[in-house]
């Protein structure tokens, strides 16, 4: 019996250990080792070696991303009046009104399918990227890898990085085209990869969910996101009305949600 216990103990010592989770860090020093560990974990989850090589071969720790992350919330501490005045400018309102008319047919078709009216979609488009004029030029995979390695929100961004790799593997976007804002947001209305996978739609029918170059895909995907978060067709969206909480699902900042509601209300008055 003693020999059996000893044998069992030896087998425990030589048995393969479970894969070690990649450790986060606070400087560039350990990034390379972290990335190697992450690649092993991603491969175990079904990401192909071809995708890993294409997406992560040139990824490096990006201090500019960390700097942006540390100072990102300052603007949301402004008062509502200051925040709204900063974002709902006369020129942005005029541009929104023009686009509301220019895309009237597209917006009607989107509303018929998802229940979200045009002024809401145009407002999100305007606030997020200036109606697609500035989608961001950060390398999405590098930004996500940096934030996944950083200890502040490592689990959240590790999942987003995995989702971004899934997008690449699906063929919707190549790594080179995957550029956006500093926190990994993609496209004309700034979808995180997790939201992209869940809510992005091919509304223009070209066989690809392209939120960067296709305005129909970007706006319809935004409507699909809002519907998925509980949007009620025909209900109001001002603070205190049924659809206002859905704006907080889009962006948790109340000052942003109130500004979005005001912008959409101003545009709706022009219809």
Residues annotated as part of the active site: 128
Give the integer Cα–Cα distance in Å for 257 and 184: 21
CA distances, 68 to each of 63, 141, 157, 252, 265 (Å): 9, 16, 15, 18, 31
For tokens 């220019």, the residue is 102
Question: Count of residues for the chain?
Answer: 271
User: What three-state secondary structure class fits 254?
Assistant: helix
Residue 218 token pair: 């970007």
Q: Which of 266, 214, 255, 238 is nearest to 88 (CA)?
A: 266
CA distances from 134 to 49, 107, 125, 187 (A): 32, 21, 10, 9
CA 76 from centroid of its chain's CA atoms: 18
CA angle, residues 106, 182, 92, in degrees to nearest 5 = 45
CB 167 within 8 A of CB 197: yes
Cα separation, 126 vs 81, whole angstroms = 18
What's the rounded Cα separation, in Å, for the pair 44 and 62?
A: 26
């Amino acid at each position: 019996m003693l020999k059996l216990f000893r044998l069992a103990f030896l087998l425990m010592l030589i048995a393969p250990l479970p894969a070690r989770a990649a450790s986060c860090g606070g400087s560039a020093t350990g990034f390379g080792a972290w990335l190697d560990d992450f690649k092993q974990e991603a491969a175990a989850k079904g990401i192909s070696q071809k995708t890993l090589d294409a997406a992560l071969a040139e990824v490096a720790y990006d201090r500019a991303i960390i700097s942006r992350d540390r100072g990102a919330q300052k603007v949301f501490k402004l008062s509502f009046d200051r925040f709204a005045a900063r974002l709902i400018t006369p020129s942005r309102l005029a541009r929104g009104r023009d686009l509301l008319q220019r895309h009237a047919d597209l917006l009607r078709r989107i509303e018929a399918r998802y229940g979200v009216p045009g002024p809401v979609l145009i407002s999100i488009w305007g606030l997020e990227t200036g109606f697609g004029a500035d989608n961001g030029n950060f390398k999405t995979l590098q930004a996500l890898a940096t934030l996944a390695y950083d200890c502040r929100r490592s689990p959240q961004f590790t999942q987003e990085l995995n989702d971004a790799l899934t997008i690449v593997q699906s063929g919707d976007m190549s790594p080179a085209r995957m550029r956006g804002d500093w926190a990994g947001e993609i496209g004309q209305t700034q979808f995180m990869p997790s939201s992209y996978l869940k809510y992005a739609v091919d509304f223009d029918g070209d066989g690809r969910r392209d939120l960067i170059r296709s305005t129909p895909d970007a706006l319809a995907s935004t409507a699909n996101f809002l519907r998925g978060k509980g949007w009620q067709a025909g209900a109001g969206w001002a603070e205190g009305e049924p659809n206002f909480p859905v704006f907080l699902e889009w962006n948790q900042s109340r000052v942003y949600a109130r500004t979005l509601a005001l912008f959409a209300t101003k545009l709706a008055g022009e219809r």
